[in-house]
């Protein structure tokens, strides 16, 4: 099992550009999550999905969008990148309320 994979590992965007961060898991987990990690603020939940076809907003959803059309994939879209979205993004998956398995992260810089 590859576990949770994320691409790309690094990305630099200009303000106003859009892009999609990819996340995939091969553990047949029903729940998937997107977090951002900023210094001194821990992980903050952006969006999560309890099952295929459902998504819910987390603590900081503004400027992002997600979809869950398959069990395996949970892409995160940045609609119009802003410098405030410079962060490290982590995708995770789990069974319902279970321990989460994290991907290696995507380091995003918006200039």
Partner 1 sequence: GEDVEQSLFLSVREGDSSVINCTYTDSSSTYLYWYKQEPGAGLQLLTYIFSNMDMKQDQRLTVLLNKKDKHLSLRIADTQTGDSAIYFCAESRRFGAGTRLTVKP
**Binding site residues, partner 1, CB under 8 A:** 4, 33, 35, 40-45, 48, 58, 90, 92, 97-105
**Shortest distance, CB of residue 68 to partner 1, whole angstroms?**
15
**Closest among 106, 65, 103 to 88, alpha carbons compared:** 106
Phi and psi torsions of 85, nearest 5°: -90, 5
For residue 89, give both structure tokens.
């993004």
**Shortest distance, CB of residue 80 to partner 1, whole angstroms?**
26
Strand partners of residue 19? 78
**Distance (Å, whole) CA 99 – CA 89:** 18
Residue whose CB is less far from partner 1, 14 or 99: 99
Residue whose CB is less far from partner 1, 76 or 103: 103
Q: What is the dihedral of CA 59, 60, 64, 66, to 10 degrees?
A: -10
**Shortest distance, CB of residue 64 to partner 1, whole angstroms?**
16
**Shortest distance, CB of residue 92 to partner 1, whole angstroms?**
8
């Amino acid at each position: 099992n590859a576990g949770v994979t994320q691409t790309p590992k690094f990305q630099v965007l200009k303000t106003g550009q859009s892009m999609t961060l990819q996340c995939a898991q091969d553990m047949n987990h029903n729940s998937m999550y997107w977090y951002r990690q900023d210094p001194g603020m821990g992980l903050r939940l952006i969006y999560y999905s309890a099952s295929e076809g459902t998504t819910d907003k987390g603590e900081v959803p503004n400027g992002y969008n997600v979809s869950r059309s398959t069990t395996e994939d949970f892409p995160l879209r940045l609609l119009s990148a802003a410098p405030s979205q410079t962060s490290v993004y982590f995708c995770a998956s789990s069974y319902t309320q279970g321990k989460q398995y994290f991907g290696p992260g995507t380091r995003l810089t918006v200039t």
